[in-house]
């Protein structure tokens, strides 16, 4: 029991600090209200990387509507987000689910092409993805995963680093 409690404490401490050492505020910038599609962002109140991601979307014209949630895990489960693709926040746009730090170009492509998928996910919290930028650090390679019916997953886009440069051509 003691070991389980210590494990929860360590994981909780790492998760809390990971979301808050990238700068930013714990609330969205009200001056960045976009006129584009509504994006409903569900996040923990203390997660600053989530607000940085929301502000990045608002800067690109999306109307980000901020929702504080105390039970993100239940929402992810209810919306069919597989546990292995979970991240720190969940958002919705035009009927699609966006899990994690999905880059704006992938969201714009999603809305332009309107594929028959459930949504997009960036598993974990890769350094260099929107909201996870770290000055002086080369960003991680990461993939945007398309969530499909029956739990199928395919690679939608690939990125490298903070400038969101595509690692491979489509």
| Res. 120: pLDDT tops 90 | yes
Residue 145, Cβ density class (10 Å: 0-12 exposed, 13-18 middle, ≥19 buried): buried
Name residues whose C-beta falls within 8 Å of residue 19's C-beta, 6 or more positions apart in sequence.
Answer: 44, 46, 47, 48, 49, 50, 88, 125
Q: pTM surpassing 0.85?
A: no
What pLDDT score does 28 carry?
A: 73
What's the rounded mean pLDDT across residues 107-111?
A: 97
The model's pLDDT over 28-72, given as tens digits with 9 standing for 90+, comes to: 766 677 788 999 999 998 889 999 999 999 999 999 999 999 999
Q: Give the residue-averaged pLDDT of 149-170.
A: 72
CA angle 117, 121, 122 (to 5 degrees): 155
Q: What's the helix, strand, coil split of the chain in %, to 5? A: 35, 25, 40
> Residue 80: its pLDDT value, please?
87
Task: List pLDDT tens digits, range 81-102.
Answer: 999 999 999 999 999 999 999 9
Q: Among 21-25, 105-109, 140-144, 151-155, which stretch is predicted with the lowest mean pLDDT?
A: 21-25
Q: Where are the domains of the chain?
A: 2-166
User: pLDDT value at position 16?
Assistant: 30
């Amino acid at each position: 029991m003691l070991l389980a409690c210590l494990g929860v404490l360590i994981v909780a401490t790492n998760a809390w600090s990971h979301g808050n050492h990238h700068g930013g505020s714990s609330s969205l910038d009200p001056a960045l209200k976009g006129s584009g599609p509504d994006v409903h962002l569900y996040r923990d109140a203390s997660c600053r990387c989530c607000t940085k991601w929301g502000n990045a979307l608002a800067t690109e014209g999306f109307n980000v509507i901020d929702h504080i949630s105390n039970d993100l895990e239940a929402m992810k489960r209810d919306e069919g987000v597989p546990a292995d693709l979970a991240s720190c926040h969940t958002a919705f746009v035009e009927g699609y689910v966006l899990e994690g730090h999905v880059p704006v170009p992938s969201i714009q492509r999603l809305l332009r092409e309107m594929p028959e998928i459930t949504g997009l996910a960036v598993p974990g919290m890769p350094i260099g993805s929107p909201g996870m930028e770290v000055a002086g650090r080369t960003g991680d390679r990461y993939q945007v995963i398309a969530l499909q019916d029956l739990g199928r997953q395919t690679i939608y886009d690939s990125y490298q680093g903070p400038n969101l440069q595509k690692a491979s051509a489509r």
